[in-house]
Structure 1
Amino acid sequence: MYNLDPVTIAIIAANVIMSIKGFDDRVFFEKYKFNVGSITRGEQIRMFSSGFLHVDTTHLLFNMFTLYFFANPVILELGQLNFIIIYIASLVFGNLLSLYFHKDEFWYSAVGASGAVTGILYAAILLQPEMSLYMFFIPIPIPGYIFGIGYLLYSIYGMKKRIGNIGHDAHFGGAVGGYAVTLILMPSLFKTDLGHIGLLAIPIIILFILYKTGKLH
């Protein structure tokens, strides 16, 4: 089990506080969720605030559980400041991609830290591809890159089925954000671990192809 870094604790606390407030206060939730129509009218705060709201407790716990496992490797390798940069960049880039994908759907709404968390997940796996995870009901360790690919494939399912009021499209943008920013911050990875860089790029490319061919919706 990890000892959580203060930065991770602060991010989890912000998500919990904002989400609980949103559970109990529908006006608050509606004011700060991602909504294409509202954003195009100038409410840019939603691009950031929506990343700290969640549909329900299960959605919140899943994202925070994932962040818990993957935050420390990024902080240990790159430091607190770069961790924050990756988290915020992934959150914003995920929402920018959602805005682009749904620019003509003014009613489209979504919430969740999934974009930011997926960015951290991809960053951690790039930095420590040898990591292994033990998941529920699976008695053998799962390589981190397998978990990362599986997490992103789940986003494809979510996008196709439009499951809940969740920013599944932001998973794609978040992964790209975390992937790109990590490689910018540590370009030496191209020399030391080109194989995993290529492997983790595959689901991103698949998602892009599915979108361009109209098979996501």
Structure 2
Amino acid sequence: MITYLLIAATILVSYLCFKDHSLFNKLSFIPYRVVKNNEWYRLITHGFVHADYTHLLVNMFTFWSFGTYMEQVFEAIGFSWIAYLALYFGGMVIASVYDIIKEKRNPNFISIGASGAVSAVLFTSIFFNPWGKILFFAVLPIPGIIFGFIYLAYCQYMAKQAGDHINHNAHFYGAVYGFVFPLLLNPGLIHSFLAHFSF
């Protein structure tokens, strides 16, 4: 249920920002303004803003695919809805920390989208089901744990490149946060994770 509410809110805010550039600028993650003007709300609001319908669709479809599953997992193991929100918004915030440090003096740097949060949810699902299949390039099904390694390596490689206007660092740090998040709530879950590799 929470996943659907977050998707609905994101679609609504993104749509409004498509029509209103001033609102887009008000909600986007701009580290320079965050630090200079104490506009810390941008750490959250930027996750509800997207560049276009394709960007929005990809993020929300991925979130729907793994978010609904993670809600069921959290309920089954006794994690509350607050924990699920901490995963989502925590991923959003943690994914932005690197850019606050690196880009705080750059007034032209802008980042938008829920990718950090979605990456967190995706990688939490990999933690709980590392052999579950994920479609690589939306075509080839591969185990989640293998997809995870490829994804992280790709993010690191692309972060060192320039020109595609995608915040790969946000994807990377959101993913790492999502993978360790269950252990922050219950360190004992490491045994459940390792049990998946007992042959």
d(CA) in 2 for partners of 1:106, 1:136: 34
Residue of structure 2 equivalent to 1:32: 27
Kept in 1: contact 2:70–2:125 (CA 8 A): yes
Distance 1:169 1:57, change over 3 A: same
Q: CA deviation at 1:101?
A: 2.7
1:128 is aligned to 2:129? yes
**How many residues are aligned here?**
190
Residues 110-189 of structure 1 mapped to structure 2, 5 A cutoff:
110-134=111-135, 138=139, 141-159=141-159, 160-164=161-165, 166-189=166-189
Residues 18-167 of structure 1 mapped to structure 2, 5 A cutoff:
18-40=13-35, 41-79=37-75, 80-134=81-135, 138=139, 141-159=141-159, 160-164=161-165, 166-167=166-167
Which consecutive residues of structure 1, in runs of 5 or more, have no partner in the other structure? 1-5, 198-217
Which consecutive residues of structure 2, in runs of 5 or more, have no partner in the other structure? 76-80
Using the size of structure 1 for normalisation, the TM-score is: 0.78
Q: CA deviation at 1:155?
A: 3.0
d(CA) in 2 for partners of 1:9, 1:86: 15
d(CA) in 1 for partners of 2:51, 2:136: 23
d(CA) in 2 for partners of 1:155, 1:56: 21
Residue of structure 2 equivalent to 1:202: none
Amino acid of the structure 2 residue aligned with 1:169 = N
d(CA) in 2 for partners of 1:145, 1:69: 17
2:26 counterpart SS class = helix
Q: CA deviation at 1:162?
A: 4.0
Residue of structure 1 equivalent to 2:9: 14
Amino acid of the structure 2 residue aligned with 1:101 = K
1:105 counterpart SS class = coil
Amino acid of the structure 1 residue aligned with 2:55 = H
Q: CA deviation at 1:136?
A: 6.2
Distance 1:179 1:136, change over 3 A: closer
